[in-house]
Amino acid sequence: MPHPNFVPDPMSHPTFPPAVTSASSPEDLSRCDSWWRADGVVWHILQSRLGPGPQAVVPPRCDMFIGALTSTSRTLYEVLVAHYGGGDHGTASIIKDKLRNLVCGHGKDAVTAYITEWRAGLRRLDGTHWGFTPFDCIRAFVDHLPLTLAFHNLRE
């Protein structure tokens, strides 16, 4: 939900790269070049401050066989949202509900898998305004650990 004082900029609507062919006019080729240059600025803004983990999922910008630009900033944004969440209230609410309902099993690697799921969920919530409070986070995490003696002290 946008901020109540938000006024959308009519120039900031998403676009797609112009289609060009070998028969395209110089104006069409210039328009396409301008579009890719502007998209490159957006790509840089999205990609430049990513850490090593998110950098690993960034799609290649150019096709290495033909050298043509193939991935747009929209593609990069979609990949980042798919891996790390959208940062909006709805996405955060779904992630928090998933974590609250996550229950640790009793198998050999159950605790490790449980911790991995929690870390992934918290990483997706990191930087949003809708994460857990520290108390709620710890409470939800500890409440669904196995009811064994090893975790008894955490519940007291």
pLDDT tens-place string over residues 109-152: 999 999 999 998 888 887 677 888 899 999 999 999 998 888 88
Question: What is the C-alpha separation between 108 and 105, in angstroms, rounded?
Answer: 9
Q: Please give the pLDDT value at position 9.
A: 66
Quick one: tokens of 143? 């409440």
Q: How far apart are CA 147 and CA 104, in angstroms?
A: 10
Structure tokens at 81: 């949202």
Is the predicted pLDDT of residue 68 greater than 80, yes or no?
no
pTM for the model stands at: 0.51
Q: Verify that 113 and 63 share a domain, yes or no.
A: no
The proportion of the chain whose per-residue pLDDT surpasses 90, expressed as a percent, equals: 26
Parent domain of 143: 89-155
Overall domain count for the chain: 2
Three-class secondary structure of residue 70 per DSSP: coil
Would residue 131 count as lying in a domain? yes
